[in-house]
Structure 1
């Protein structure tokens, strides 16, 4: 396993957001975290990224504990996050946003080559590279947020609600892109309220409820689990 989370407890003041969760991600997988609003999905990603500190428990990346690392150190180790709500730099151009994703890298030639790869994957970003990010559509901003994260050359990509606010056709496009990125060698931990889409692309999944993992298993099995179908797929 390249990422292991053990007995992780995280709180917002008096509110216990995570209550001792355990999960792991193997190299090359797409692992999904599904659950309702407030279940602790985004908190899990933010803690992995170093944006929150656990009260208890460990996060291990390639055998190294990272719970006390700073966010920039975690990016340099090979973990990059696409945040919920895109969070592009609205007053900066598409090009400048992508350059910000590569801020920790030293080789300008490699950065330029990766920029070309992002533009090849997202032709609309190439067409709009000098446009302010805040003027892009929601789907284009999501592509930019993914492209920006890829500019750090992550081994593990954390995706927080990539389908949020997008039309169904764009959701399918974004999930196709997620699968392509994974096939090219990037491991993915996916937080997603659209449980049907998440389970369709994931190898394995964890179901979070009020800060606790209540189900785990192969995505192909969870999609047929009666409790999952009733709670997250809208079926009786």
Structure 2
């Protein structure tokens, strides 16, 4: 069973409305602050991008549907900070800087204080990014042009209800390999602390008519980046 976030191609969720050309990068000042604090907390090294995605996916369905984009980010971040014991729920409930959940001054620096992202280091950290390509002993099974099918059932095969990058609408669909991206960290494993488990990653094309029964433009193609364990030969 998929989570509420897995809504690609689903009826009833309303249209996707692109922002008008020339719209500001951040519609509200707090949106920029939400991005900044998310990046700063990520620099503490207590989780990876797949863990953070899974935290947002696990929001309660009611919250997920009513929260805006950056509200989802902050809610997922709060979950991670508590789960990874960076902060306590009491810390988050206190709006006072540099104090614990009781309002008392901290007697000692936070154990992760040395990893704090300094303003002078932000540009270099953003430029570095977070590459996910890794060496791997897993042999490449497919080449450009090969027909493939997304495995059925979908979902994470390592952790029940866990994170995966195989969208529900592509489960069981037939497509063809467009490009081999090399070997990359497997999100299904990395999101749950099970290791990076790198394996081949492919760009896979699908005809819109093979994904949905009534596509608006049947001649369109959809290209998904999918890991080898999501695919099977046809």
> Hey, which of these two has a bigger chunk of strand by percent?
1
- Which structure: larger Rg? 2
- Greater RCO, CA 8 A, separation 6+: 1
TM bucket (normalised to shorter chain) is under 0.3
- Normalising by structure 2, we get a TM-score of 0.28
